[in-house]
Amino acid sequence: MDKIATLKLPDGKTIELPGMSGTLGPDVYDVRSLYGKTGVFTYDPGFMSTAACTSDITYIDGDAGILLYRGYPIEQLAEKCDYLEVCYLLLNGELPNKAQKVDFDFTVTRHTMVHEQLSRFYQGFRRDSHPMAVLLGVVGAMAAFYHDSLDINNPEHRKVSAFRLIAKLPTIVAMSYKYSIGQPFMYPRNDLSYAANFMHMMFGVPAEDYKVNPVLVRAMDRIFTLHADHEQNASTSTVRLSGSSGANPFACIAAGIATLWGPAHGGANEAALNMLEEIGDVSKVGAFIKDVKDKNSGAKLMGFGHRVYKNYDPRAKLMRETCHEVLGELGLKNDKILALAMALEKIALEDDYFVSRKLYPNVDFYSGIVQRALGIPVSMFTCIFALARTVGWISQWTEMISDPGMKIGRPRQLYTGAGRRDVPAIINRS
Ligand code: SDX
Beta carbon of 357 within 6 Å of any ligand 1 atom? yes
For atom 31 of ligand 1, which residue has the closest CA?
A: 307
For atom 40 of ligand 1, which residue has the closest CA?
A: 357
Question: Tens-digit pLDDT profile for the chain (430 aa)?
Answer: 658 999 999 989 899 999 999 999 999 999 999 999 999 999 999 999 999 999 999 999 999 999 999 999 999 999 999 999 999 999 999 999 999 999 999 999 999 999 999 999 999 999 999 999 999 999 999 999 988 888 999 999 999 999 999 999 999 999 999 999 999 999 999 999 999 999 999 999 999 999 999 999 999 999 999 999 999 999 999 999 999 999 999 999 999 999 999 999 999 998 999 999 999 999 999 999 999 999 999 999 999 999 999 988 999 999 999 999 999 999 988 888 888 998 999 988 899 999 999 999 999 998 999 999 999 999 999 999 999 999 999 999 999 999 999 999 999 999 999 999 999 999 999 9
Return the active site residues: 306, 364
Reference 176, options 386, 393, 371; nearest CA is 386
Atom of ligand 1 nearest to the CA of 295: 50
For atom 24 of ligand 1, which residue has the closest CA?
A: 305
Reference 37, options 53, 56, 13; nearest CA is 13
Q: What is the pLDDT of residue 312?
A: 87
H helices of 294-351, in order, are 314-329, 336-350
Q: What is the pLDDT of residue 2?
A: 59
Beta carbon of 268 within 6 Å of any ligand 1 atom? yes
CB of 308 closer than 8 Å to CB of 366? no
Which amino acid is present at 430?
S
Q: What is the pLDDT of residue 148?
A: 84
Give 280-287's long-range contacts (Cβ < 8 A, gap of 24+). 280/340, 281/336, 281/340, 282/339, 282/340, 282/343, 285/340, 285/343, 285/344, 285/347, 286/347
For atom 4 of ligand 1, which residue has the closest CA?
A: 233
Q: What are the pLDDT digits (tens) for 236-270? A: 999 999 999 999 999 999 999 999 999 999 999 98
For atom 33 of ligand 1, which residue has the closest CA?
A: 307
259 to each of 83, 218, 223, 282, how far by Cα in Å? 23, 28, 20, 33
Atom of ligand 1 nearest to the CA of 266: 12
Distance 297 CA to ligand 1 centre (A): 16
Reference 218, options 199, 190, 202; nearest CA is 199
Beta carbon of 307 within 6 Å of any ligand 1 atom? yes
Beta carbon of 239 within 6 Å of any ligand 1 atom? no
CA distance 285 to 276: 9
Q: What are the pLDDT digits (tens) for 295-314? A: 999 999 999 999 999 988 99
CB of 332 closer than 8 Å to CB of 373? yes
Beta carbon of 359 within 6 Å of any ligand 1 atom? yes
Q: What are the pLDDT digits (tens) for 329-338? A: 999 888 888 8
Q: What is the pLDDT of residue 1?
A: 60
Provide the β-strand partners of residue 18. 4
CA distance 321 to 423: 64
Exposure class string for 246-255: b at 16+ Cβ within 10 A, else e: ebbbbbbbbb
